[in-house]
Amino acid sequence: MQTFEQRACLAVLTLFLAAAGAFPQFTRAAEPSEQQDSQGPLKNLSLEQLGNVEVSTVSKSLEQVWDTPAAIYVITREDIRRSGVATIPAAMRLAPGVEVARIDSNKWSVGIRGFGSRLSRSVLVLIDGRSVYSTLLSGTYWEVQDTLIEDIDRIEVIRGPGGTIWGPNAVNGVINIITRNSKDTQGALVSAGGGDLEQGFLSARYGGSNGKGLSYRVYAKGFVRGPGFHFDNDNYDRWRSVQSGFRLDWEKNQRNTFTLQADIYDEGAGETVSLTNYTPPFSQTVGGTEFLDGGNILGRWTRTFSEGNDVQVQFYYDRTNRREPNFGDLRNTFDLDYLQRFHIGSSNHISVGFGARASQGHELEVTPGLFFRPSFRTDQLYTAFVQDDISIIPNRLTA
């Protein structure tokens, strides 16, 4: 019997295949295969060009990297393309100060400045402004953080505390994964392959626009990966996944922009877990499959009044279902974020932000030795910040 997410995946795949006919009024343009990144490889940039690379993680708004006080590193789209990585955790190896270790075929340990673990605790991970940090075990499940690797525009990594702007969970750092605007992913893209470990993969994307500020893309991907090498020949960590989604960007005019995007996924990943019993044997390690499915939808509206004077409102909903051999977590997360920037005089640039998040979890007791009390719990988080950039000496000294 198909789950809701599986039926939704089939629906999106059907939408993708029918996209060419569903939008006949939209123009179609093939994406140049040799198109050069506007910023280019970082190693080929001059010092002046390096300082002009724009980032948004430090202050939640675009600014040049030389103007930020944080220890930030940018993994560009060109870096990712040249490295040949196939997953987001593998791409994180390109950032200095980030330690990435592969635990098995489908799990990673990602840490900043030596604080690494499977769940990347105290590191806030964002995808297009959507937090993927789980409140149940205080970490990030990297095996379900995925998108088309070709759609990633850049990954910004802050090594060090970022809680002033982003709130809790950003003690050791912030990892912000930013995907490309749909107007930059026009035309069709298909990739497929297979081998020993990567036994088979297929991904496809189609993008179009109406020539009047409205652009879109839809994508679908799936793969089957074999188990990693184990000395005891216990090949438990086979992995399969299917995922699809879309992004819609609308630039109504120079002042108003709107983004709507969504993803759904369904995975099965092998793992070994420890089971505790009240009768002998009191503890044992068994193999099983974790069934993972869910989806998310995000909307963002930005109104620009003038340079440095704008308002941004963002909302997202995330559904995550984890059914592991020793526990289960069914979680719904709602998040609302507000950001406003404005000038006071010629020297003060004020940023004000508010946020509210509710994460409702239902914890399933799969084995008698592991349970959560209460089994139903809603975590509520409210944040606010005020930041003032004071220009003491214009373009030279800022406090």
pLDDT (tens digit per residue) in 227-267? 888 888 888 889 999 999 999 999 988 899 999 999 999 99
12-16, 64-68, 118-122, 275-279: which range is least confident on average? Answer: 12-16
**The two three-digit tokens of residue 302, written as one number:** 């930005």
**Residues 64, 143: Cα–Cα separation, whole Å:** 32
Q: Measure the CA–CA gap between 11 and 188, rounded to whole angstroms.
A: 19
Q: What is the pTM of this model?
A: 0.82
3-state secondary structure of 43: helix
- Give the 3-state secondary structure of residue 79: helix
d(CA 48, CA 122): 34
For the cut 60, the answer to whether the pLDDT of residue 38 exceeds it is: no
DSSP-derived 3-state class of residue 83: helix
190 residue type, one letter: V
Contact 312, 300 (CB under 8 A): yes
